[in-house]
Amino acid sequence: MISVTLLGAGNVATHLFKAFKTSNQITVKQWFNRNIDAISTYESEVEITDNIDALEAADVFIIAVSDNAVANVSKSLTVKNQLVVHTSGSVNVHDLDKKHRRGVFYPLQSFSKKATLNFADVPICIETLNKSDYPILKTLATAIGSPVKKINSDQRRVLHLAAVFVNNFTNQMYRIAHEIVESEAAEFDLLKPLILETAKKVQDISPYMAQTGPAKRNDTKTINKHIAILEDEQHQEIYKLLTQSIQNTHGRFSK
């Protein structure tokens, strides 16, 4: 049985707690947050506290807070020589205080508190400074059904950057599309099968091979029509920039 202490009350911490509670290989020993009201809903399921000095020894301490707060929370921990990990894609493992055995337990997924999440679909990227700590984190990840990947800091940094492109930026494209169809009272729902098919396609072929559309075809007539339809100048600039990027990638250039 692996004992875990959680620090933080955001989306990642909440989903991890729920996943850990379903495993017979993990016990959540304590859950800390500076604002105890944020985790008061779970007080009947786990010992909660807003006093960081009250935290006892555990097999793993998981810091799931904002990136800017990771170092300070790590430094504030009074326990020593414990395995302390953070869940960030961009924070350096060396930002954790030296008094700890340091590591990273990075779930590569988008988290929303209200969304149901199956950890079988959440790769856990693991990094440890001590080789002996890796099996502990691997067991922790597999106990909730997650696939595990051992990575280094450089790999994690570019994965996090790439995740912003495929998730955050893509979602903003959905938002822009929503605004565009709303301008003529068309239904965004009609685009949802296309969204799913696009995501499905890259499971089997590369994004390069999956690319279609007027930019790849260098269909300047359609491209110019689209730009003319767009009333928002920022949307026009985004359209032009992405069109040019696709054309550069596929060797097609506007005349």
User: Is the pLDDT score of 254 beyond 50?
Assistant: no
Over residues 15-37, the mean pLDDT reads: 96
CA distance 216 to 252: 7
Chain-centroid distance of CA 83 in Å reads 22
CA distance 48 to 173: 40
Q: What is the pLDDT of residues 89-119, one digit of tens each?
A: 999 999 999 999 999 999 999 887 777 789 9
Amino acid code (one letter) for 83:
L
Cα within 13 Å of Cα(33), Cβ side? 22
Q: What is the pLDDT of residues 123-173, one digit of tens each?
A: 999 999 999 999 999 999 999 999 999 999 999 999 999 999 999 999 999
Would you state the pLDDT for residue 116? Answer: 79
Confirm if 116 and 90 have CB atoms less than 8 A apart. no
Task: Compute the CA torsion angle 145, 147, 150, 152 (nearest 10 deg).
Answer: -110
Which residues fall within 8 angstroms of residue 22, CB to CB, at 6 or more apart?
A: 144
Confirm if 99 and 71 have CB atoms less than 8 A apart. no
CA distance 53 to 79: 8
3-state secondary structure of 174: helix
pTM of the model: 0.87
Confirm if 104 and 88 have CB atoms less than 8 A apart. yes
Would you state the pLDDT for residue 252? Answer: 60
Q: What is the pLDDT of residues 230-244, one digit of tens each?
A: 999 999 999 999 999
Hey, CA dihedral for 11, 13, 17, 20, is it positive or negative?
positive
Q: What is the pLDDT of residues 114-128, one digit of tens each?
A: 777 899 999 999 999
Would you state the pLDDT for residue 255? Answer: 44
